[in-house]
Amino acid sequence: MSLRSARRALLLCCFVTLAASGGCGTKPKAGAHPELTVFAAASLREVFTALARRFEALRPGTHVVLSFAGSQTLRSQIEHGAPADVFASADERHMTALAAEGHVTAPKFFAQNELVVAVSRAGASSVREFRQLPDATRIVLGAPEVPVGEYTRRALEQANADLGADFQARVEAHVVSREPDARQVLAKVALGEVDAGIVYRTDALAAKDKVVIVPMPAAYNVLAKYPVAVTTHAPRAELGRAFVELLFSPEGARVLAESGFLPVTGAKADAR
Amino acid sequence: MAPAPRFSRITLALGALGSALVVFLLLPIVGLVSGTSFADARAGLRHPLVAPALELSLVTTALSVTLVVVLGTPLAWLVARTPGRAARWLESSLKLPVVLPPAVAGLGLLLAFGRASALGGLLARFGLSVPFTTAAVVLAQVFVAAPFYVEAAIAAFRRLDTSLLVIARTLGASPVRVLFRVALPLAAPGLLSGAALCWARALGEFGATLMFAGSLAGRTQTLPLAIYAALESDLRAARSLSLVLVVVAFALLVAVQSAERASTRSGAEHD
């Protein structure tokens, strides 16, 4: 085999690789339609979709690209150079880590979410209030590794003081699955395959035609705090800051409240 | 000697194309391995999620593959030996689980075996319930992985030299004896590689399992589900868990391949 044929083959190989990778670039096009990329926790899907439409209406020509996933997944993507302008997390830890690594600056809490019990239509007769949760035949909870599962564990522990020291154990005796996110918990309740699951209020509200919402008393409810920040290397930092401003505006607060989010009380707003 | 250089030039071009794919397929795995130190891997192995998940994965996939082979081999034999449109339609429809997104497959299983279904209601009368049990893990794996085996088995049976089967019959062997002593040994390499692919698919199964069986350590949380759970809290643990999965899968695939080679050799001796 000659050197020339080897070179030709190599060239062919390079060409194929180039052709295959062409068009995969993610750089925003400097055109008439500025594009804002927002990475948001899965539980923000409905409310951020509504807010993005509002943002586009306020700034004609602007296009908001939304990417929803678990906060950990989004954090990993940002750490590996994903072109996000804004990151909204359901978990303080991931935002704190990104801030420490210099990927985001000045995160602030913009909303809170509380836990509720989502009860299926079939389970609705046995679980009318929170103290009756152990009467459900089948319960699903979030996995202890994910935020919703961690908050649930803390809430059940705190409930022991009020509802009997074995309350948590009586609930856990009926747990058939520990799901990787709140939406999976909700899906199983909505399908009627399980009687009850503990999810965020906003998730339960999004499926309120399929599940019955049983509130969890404030005395042992655990609040999830949602921080938001503009990324350090944001391709559209200016637009990103404007989107964050919308979250903190009276209009943003109204949209968040309509979806079931709770406001953050003033003094605690800095996520550091 | 004139044609020799042309041949090697083509070989080189093919090699270049082939190696592009090899590099692409192995790069993510190299990424997983190279980023994990030996200490990380050992810490990963000791992670509390690992032992029950690994055991559950091995037990359930062994059961699934056994079920698929026991039920799938006769099916593949019949489909391969039946001429006509009906058999081909059946063959195509057996591939459907491959194109279904796994979460949809899981939803389908829930709708078929769940509380609201007729079958689920019938089972409930006997005090049985399938979803969220280890049995559901096996069913989910069988559903998504069976087509890989059945497809390979049909192809293996079709490749058989029919004259050999006819000769065996004329020499007085019963149909059952022909199947077990002639057809199966000859088709063995194809059946084995199909079973290996089926097993690999079952081992990596995630979406259908999560939907239909849920995720509970020691009961329904297989290795891929444990990795997903760890991914949310501890990326390093998730990486070492993935490494465990890759090593286990690779070891078993290599073992199957050597068994396949051995059976090809013994098949050749029979000729």
Contact: B229, A180; criterion CB under 8 Å: yes
pLDDT of residue A97: 94
Inter-chain CB pairs, A–B, below 8 Å: 93
pLDDT of residue B176: 85
- Give Cα A176 distance to the centre of its chain: 24
Q: Which residue has the tokens 């509130």?
A: A215
In the predicted structure, residue A243 carries a pLDDT above the cut 80: yes
- Give Cα A69 distance to the centre of its chain: 6
Residue A70: how many other CB atoms lie within 10 Å: 23
Contacts of B115 in chain A (CB under 8 A): 122, 192-193
- Chunked into runs of 10 residues, chain B (271 residues) has average pLDDT values of 64 92 91 79 79 93 97 94 89 91 92 88 87 95 97 94 89 87 91 93 94 91 90 76 86 85 68 49
pLDDT of residue A22: 40
Q: What is the DSSP letter of A2?
A: -
pLDDT of residue A212: 95
Nearest C-alpha in A relative to B112:
A193
Q: What domains can you pick out in chain B, each with its CATH number?
A: 40-270 (1.10.3720.10)
pLDDT, average across residues A129-146: 93
pLDDT of residue A146: 84
* pLDDT tens per residue across span A25-39: 444 444 557 899 999
The mean pLDDT value of chain A amounts to 86
Homologous superfamily (CATH) for A115-215: Periplasmic binding protein-like II (3.40.190.10)
pLDDT, average across residues A204-213: 92
pLDDT of residue B5: 56
Which amino acid is it at B238? A
The pair of three-digit structure tokens given for residue A186, joined into one six-digit string: 């909700």
Query: Do the Cβ atoms of A55 and A62 come closer than 8 Å?
Result: yes
Give, in degrees to the nearest 5, the angle at Cα B116 between B72 and A123: 135
Closest CA to B212 of A154, A59, A187: A187
pLDDT, average across residues A169-179: 95
Q: Binning pLDDT at 50, 70 and 90, where does residue A183 land? A: confident
Q: To the nearest whole angstrom, how far is the Cα of A147 from the nearest Cα of chain B? A: 9
* pLDDT tens per residue across span A41-88: 988 999 999 999 999 999 999 999 999 988 888 998 999 889 899 999
Homologous superfamily (CATH) for A30-113+224-268: Periplasmic binding protein-like II (3.40.190.10)
What distance in Å separates the CA atoms of residue A196 and residue A136, rounded to the nearest whole number? 7
Contact: B215, A76; criterion CB under 8 Å: no
In the predicted structure, residue A16 carries a pLDDT above the cut 50: no
This model of the complex carries an ipTM of 0.73
- Give Cα B244 distance to the centre of its chain: 18
Nearest C-alpha in B relative to A15:
B17
Q: Which of A1, A10, A188 minimises the CB distance to B8?
A: A1
What distance in Å separates the CA atoms of residue A35 and residue A119, rounded to the nearest whole number? 40
What distance in Å separates the CA atoms of residue A37 and residue A62, rounded to the nearest whole number? 11
pLDDT of residue A23: 40
Contact: A143, B229; criterion CB under 8 Å: yes
Q: To the nearest whole angstrom, how far is the Cα of B50 from the nearest Cα of chain A? A: 14
Query: Do the Cβ atoms of A197 and A140 come closer than 8 Å?
Result: yes
The pair of three-digit structure tokens given for residue A48, joined into one six-digit string: 């951020």
Contacts of B216 in chain A (CB under 8 A): 175-178
Q: What is the largest CA-CA distance in chain A?
A: 84
Which amino acid is it at A180? P
- Give Cα B208 distance to the centre of its chain: 14
What distance in Å separates the CA atoms of residue B241 and residue B232, rounded to the nearest whole number? 13
pLDDT of residue A42: 85
Contact: A73, B231; criterion CB under 8 Å: yes
Q: Which of B9, B213, B232 minimises the CB distance to A145?
A: B232
In chain A, ranges of CATH 3.40.190.10 domains: 30-113+224-268, 115-215
The pair of three-digit structure tokens given for residue A121, joined into one six-digit string: 């239509």
Contacts of B114 in chain A (CB under 8 A): 191-193
Q: Which residue has the tokens 């299926």?
A: A120
Q: Binning pLDDT at 50, 70 and 90, where does residue A15 land? A: very low
Q: pTM for this structure?
A: 0.79
Q: Which of B210, B214, B230 minimises the CB distance to A176?
A: B214
Contact: A12, B15; criterion CB under 8 Å: no
pLDDT, average across residues A215-222: 94
